[in-house]
Amino acid sequence: AALALLCGSAAAVGVWKWLGKRQIQKKMEEAQRTRDEGVKKMAKAVQQFREQVPHVQTDAILSLPLLELTGRLQEGSLSPKTVLYTYLEKALEVTQQTNCLRHFIPECEEQLQEIQQQREKGLLYGIPVSIKDHIGHKGHLVTCGLVQCLGTPVQEDSVLVKVLKKQGAIPFAMTNVPQSLFNYDCSNPIFGQTLNPLNHQKSPGGSSGGEGALIAGGGSILGIGSDIGGSIRLPSSFCGLCGLKPTAERLRWVLGVWRTHLLNADIFSCPNPVLCALGPMARDVDSLALCMKALLCQEMFWLDPTVPPIPFNEEVYSSSAPLRVGYYDTDSYFPLPPCMRRAVQETRGALQAAGHQLVPFSPPRIHYVMNELFLKTFFADGGRAWLDVFTGDIVDPNLKSQVNCCKIPKLGKKLLALILKPLVTIPPPLKSLKNIATISTCRSVKEMWNHHHHIEAYRTEFIARWRELRLDVVLCPVLGPAFTTGYPGKLLTAISSTMLYNVLNFPAGVVPVSTVTEADEEELKLYQGCCDDPWDRTLKQAVAGAVGLPVAVQCVALPWQEELCLRFMKEVETLSREK
């Protein structure tokens, strides 16, 4: 009888698990079906427009830089409808090749009518804009690639979307993201893997990877992403775009459903010393500057009084005064591929030749920032709250290693800590694995506040070094070139170059300056990284086969100096194009 009861219980558990998985599968299939139907409807609408207006100069419109396109729209030589449908048609083509869109926004046609009723044409009048999956748009889901987020659509536009619309922009598409946003690849079990339009074997980066792929493929001229560890800058680097991570509080953060599902987790909860920032992604720096100018307006400050009322400073952006530039080509934590260091050195030379003053700079204690400040911020509770977002979900293969580390029982973590503790010469990536596996938790409120204090103390130390050298800005590397799909999940610690400036909350942007050459590929074969360990060899595999792909640099300024950061980015862009 006892055996029968045991067998019956086991069978019941098995059936219950099967029913749960079937329910998840049904929700995923429904989401996929809804997306596919939306694509078909948009394709039909584009076809109808084509029949009505058969002689649109599609290539000419798509080739216009944002500043020129806004000028043509403002003067009336191009109509918003023609521009919108031109980009819709191109976006359909790009997503067919790369799977970059999560959903079209059919209300874009209503917005098209709305802007024609506005008394004044905003700075982004008639410009189609794409937005990342978790930026709230009324009537649409905010999924973060999670099944549990497939329920209730957002009830009102986020502040950022409201301001975009006020400025005459037309949000037309929401782009794909990695599951839970905690990866710099771009795949999730619901909507699948997004590919890099420049090379379909490569990742577009993440977590704003759908944006990167859509813009790089020509299907959008301006996009909005978010960045809490490099999520704007890494896709910009991988896809050859310009992207800006502002000081986190400079633009209104997005809440909505995303807060309900993810901000409950300690990873994103408040008070959090490392904040997520919204920012623009585009083909050139002038586009980023125009977007920031449009967003930093009275409408933004009125809708959210917690945003500092600091309008865009055009004088700083337009200045041509020589800059005092700190530079480094490695942070000595995770050595980057040779082409990324070459990009910094060539840019340094070009800046010096252009009359700027270049000063060697070494960021302090990067090992401490990555192994202590970064990981303890994101896994303050041992990763338990992050694991909760996967309840009733299928974990994406690219996240399984991180999820499994967090699932290690406390006893297992203690044993792992004991095994690794005697290793004095442990390489940096293994140190990070040790910290993820042993999860350096905050065991009390006092420990949490001490952790916040340590981050503030580090910021003070970093700024003091910056001031000692009297720097205006800093030139440094960014992770790249584009990784082969699947590799970002294996190399979480490789993001030290971008993560540093999230911990510091400094504005930082990425500018493409070169491409991978055959010589770079040959030099990569000799790359040994930190100590020619498995992580270094994995990085070699991740970036191999990248000839012709973009190579970028990172430009940094002090907090609240987005205009100076953009001005420096513009200088770098101009010099690289001249070269």
Q: Which two three-digit tokens encode residue 489?
A: 């999940």
Instruction: Give Cβ neighbours of residue 28 (< 8 Å, ≥ 6 apart).
Output: 147, 150, 189, 190, 394
DSSP letter at 179?
A: G
Q: Which two tokens stand for residue 184?
A: 């710099």
User: Residue 482: what residue type?
Assistant: A
Which one of 158, 203, 220, 231 is the catalytic residue? Answer: 231
Report the alpha-carbon distance of residue 182 to residue 206 in Å, rounded: 9
Helix boundaries (H) for 137-183: 159-166
What gap in Å lies between CA 443 and CA 506, rounded to an integer? 29
Query: Is 514 a known ligand-binding residue?
Result: no
3-state helix, strand, coil in the chain (%, to 5): 50, 10, 35
User: Would you call 231 a catalytic residue per the annotation?
Assistant: yes
- Distance CA(147)–CA(284), nearest Å, equals 35
Q: Is 181 annotated as a binding residue?
A: yes
| 220 annotated as belonging to a binding site for a ligand | no
- Known catalytic residue at 208: no
Catalytic member of 207, 226, 236, 497: 207
Task: Identify the CA nearest to 312 among candidates 86, 77, 123.
Answer: 123
Tokens representing residue 146 in the block: 């999670």
Torsion sign over Cα 517, 337, 513, 222:
positive
- Provide the 3-class DSSP secondary structure of residue 386: helix
- Active-site residue, selected from the candidate residues 90, 121, 130, 132: 132
Q: Which amino acid is at 180?
A: S
- CB-CB neighbours of 251 under 10 Å: 25
Tell me how far the alpha carbon of residue 296 is from its chain's centroid.
21
Cα–Cα distance, 87 to 172 (Å, whole number): 9
Residue by residue, DSSP assigns 455-486 as: HHHHHHHHHHHHHHTT-SEEEEE-S-SPPBTT
Residue 319 labeled ligand binder:
no
Q: Is 44 a catalytic residue?
A: no
Task: Tell me the sheet residues that pair with 101.
Answer: 175
Beta bridge partners of 359: 326
Q: Beta strands 222-227 and 192-193: pairing type?
A: unpaired
The answer to whether 496 is a known ligand-binding residue is no
d(CA 180, CA 323): 40
CB atoms within 10 A of CB 454: 15
SS3 call for 338: helix
Task: Measure CA of the first residue to CA of the last residue in the chain; give whole Å.
Answer: 83
Q: Is 229 annotated as a binding residue?
A: yes
What is the total residue count of the chain?
A: 579
Residues of the binding site: 181, 207, 228-231
Catalytic residue numbers? 132, 207, 231
Residues of the binding site for substrate: 181, 207, 228-231
